[in-house]
Amino acid sequence: MKKIINDPEHAVQDMIKGLVAAYPKQLKQITGTNVIIRKEAPVATKVGLVSGGGSGHEPAHAGYIGKGMLDAAVVGEVFTSPTPDQVLEAIKAVDSGAGVLLIIKNYTGDVMNFEMAAEMAEAEGIQVDKVIVNDDVAVENSTATTGRRGIAGTVLVHKIAGAMAEQGASLKEVKDIAEKVIAGVRSMGVATAACTVPAAGKQSFELAEDEMEIGIGIHGEPGIERKKLSSAAEIAQQLTDKILADLDFKDSEVAVMINGLGSTPEMELYIVNQTVQGILAEHEIKVSHTFVGEYMTALEMAGCSVTLLKVDKELKALLDAPSTALAFKM
Amino acid sequence: MKKIINDPEHAVQDMIKGLVAAYPKQLKQITGTNVIIRKEAPVATKVGLVSGGGSGHEPAHAGYIGKGMLDAAVVGEVFTSPTPDQVLEAIKAVDSGAGVLLIIKNYTGDVMNFEMAAEMAEAEGIQVDKVIVNDDVAVENSTATTGRRGIAGTVLVHKIAGAMAEQGASLKEVKDIAEKVIAGVRSMGVATAACTVPAAGKQSFELAEDEMEIGIGIHGEPGIERKKLSSAAEIAQQLTDKILADLDFKDSEVAVMINGLGSTPEMELYIVNQTVQGILAEHEIKVSHTFVGEYMTALEMAGCSVTLLKVDKELKALLDAPSTALAFKM
């Protein structure tokens, strides 16, 4: 796979420079770190929200920095957890005294490094708490995870916890609402082509011209089933069925996210959405919000994921709350 | 190239259904047509803005429907101009009596069909005018165009003309500001991989593993030069040099757009942006706004385009004006 980069070793540094150069009114980089923060951080009296992880998931996570979403994104190397000292820098930069919540996708490296940073911050007198997102119903454990992986549903945690924090909620209240989202959000993905980590130079797995892989992660991890490429309707059905079998969505209202993994045209995501909406209607599940686009990618992987989040009046209002984050279209 | 679709013949119809189902508060489809309009259209006393063209450029053009941008997008088949009767439906749907401006990308089919629709609308007593965007400096003529092609710079015409219309400007004033943007906007693109039209089932052109094609269009048209894949810095330099040689940007302030063509990771777009910003600084060209992302794609083509727009106080204010269009991140 061809890459429009300079030196693979500096791709993440170059990306951060290009990102902050693009949006200097909204974002700044903490000098000497891979931490990007909201320009006006720390926001007085507000709980600070920090997320992040490996690079390659853009627009996650820096694209979700802004009023009503995140205060900082810690940027690791491609598909590699950021180190604890980097996470600590982010915590220190966004703490206004009201405490900091870490929103962590469930990968062993991320959990370990964010937790270590939390301990270091607490030793410096900063109140820190964390939530771990594990929305992917495809696999119970994987090479990179104990328990379920965190994927696109994480963006809905950012949005809702971010809105709650912006309204002046306490650290406990922000954590509680994030946990409520995590309890009600489920996702699953499919790939029709793998991606290539720049420094590796070869695809993470190979699929034949007529194959797809169900249940993939967002780091080129293998999925659960390799099969013949089927129609958008069949793919949507398989993903949605697995999600609906995992959590009881009966009589629920849901927010839907159809997320592109990197190289799938928006046209195809809308075609998938059309079927998903039909399936939900058949199950008499009402849809409050739909988000279609690239929210959490895996470099140029082809494919998509479906996410459903159970919503109530409180979560719907928080989804509707204004956000200035660049990549959260609403 | 694999597609997550159902029947290729119905891909555009399925897309439209999935799009309107996703954003029912913002968009509606005119029944029995391929026209998508702003939910509240026609907006009383406001000049209506209609754009569109072939599908496959998503989020263009329906993603730019909203307050402060377009009122309607006419959706053709993939890379195929919409028919005049469809454009006429859009004109009729968005005319509030203040007239309608058509924003057309310069392709022979689009120009012919939009112009024919304008004549039909005028025969029905609707005041219609048009602008033709031709920002691509790569080729003077092509298989699909007399004169330059219209590419990503079109989105900046949508934004600025849309803001002007929203402020209550007359049809002439909206047309004049659109012409001012067109006079000052230039773009050029590169591809590292071609795209596949669903109904065709094979790539529009083939590139070897170490090749790229400079000066490509957004319909799989060939470019002007095929060469060895070079670094992001060299690519950015070549595209920007060609743009700077075409129009005198000396002592200007510019808005920059780094546009992904479909499957290029955002990481790479930011890396390109980093170099473009450096080149502009070397030329002492000041940057007012930067937009990085997928604004005008060519299905899953890999590559990007660079757009520069000369701005002054008036254009900067219009770029900053609020917009609710889903795909215009600002």
ipTM value of the model? Answer: 0.96
Tell me which chain A residue has its CA closest to the CA of residue B19: A270
Q: Is residue A192 within a helix (H) or strand (E), and if so which, with residue range?
A: strand A185-193
pLDDT at A140: 84
Residue B271 is nearest to which of A6, A269, A293, comparing CB atoms?
A6
Q: What is the pLDDT of residue B139?
A: 86
Q: Which residues pair with A48 in a beta bridge?
A: A100
B283 is catalytic: no
The predicted pLDDT at position B142 comes to: 75
**Using a CB-CB distance cutoff of 8 angstroms, which residues of chain B are in contact with residue A297?**
265-266
User: Do the chains contact at A192 and B299, CB–CB below 8 Å?
Assistant: no
CATH number attached to the domain at B11-183? 3.40.50.10440
Note whether A303 contacts B4, CB cutoff 8 Å: yes
Residue B186's nearest CA partner among B258, B131, B247, B142 is B247
Q: Which of B4, B270, B300 sits opposite A232 (nearest CB)?
A: B4
Query: Would you say A222 and A205 are in contact if contact means Cβ atoms under 8 Å apart?
Result: yes
Name B151's Cβ contacts closer than 8 Å, sequence gap at least 6: B105, B135, B136, B187, B189, B217, B218, B259, B296, B305, B307
Mean pLDDT score of chain A, rounded to an integer? 96
How many angstroms separate the CA of residue B12 from the nearest CA in chain A? 8
Q: Is the separation of the CB atoms in A277 and B18 below 8 Å? A: yes
pLDDT digits (tens, 9 = 90+) for A90-102: 999 999 999 999 9
Which positions in chain B touch A193 (Cβ < 8 Å)? 2
pLDDT at A37 over 90: yes
Q: What is the pLDDT of residue A201?
A: 85
DSSP character string of B107-164: -HHHHHHHHHHHHHHHHTT--EEEEEE--B-S-SSBTTBSSPPP-THHHHHHHHHHHH
pLDDT at A139: 86
pLDDT classification of B18: cutoffs 50, 70, 90: very high
Confidence of residue A141 (pLDDT cuts 50, 70, 90): confident
Contact A55 B267 (CB under 8 A): yes
**What superfamily would CATH give domain B185-320?**
Dihydroxyacetone kinase; domain 2 (3.30.1180.20)
Residue A161 — pLDDT band, cuts 50, 70, 90? very high
What rounded mean pLDDT belongs to chain B? 96
Q: Cβ(B293)–Cβ(A297) under 8 Å?
A: no
Inter-chain contact A14–B270, Cβ cutoff 8 Å?
Answer: yes
8 Å CB contact of A2 and B262: no
Residue A232 to residue A216: CA distance in whole angstroms: 17
Which of A2, A231, A329 has the CB atom closest to B302's CB atom?
A2
What's residue A166's pLDDT? 98
Domain spans, chain B: 11-183, 185-320
- Residue A184 tokens read as 């009600």
Is the full-model pTM beyond 0.80? yes
pLDDT for A268: 98
- With bands split at pLDDT 50, 70 and 90, how would you rate the model's confidence at A311? very high
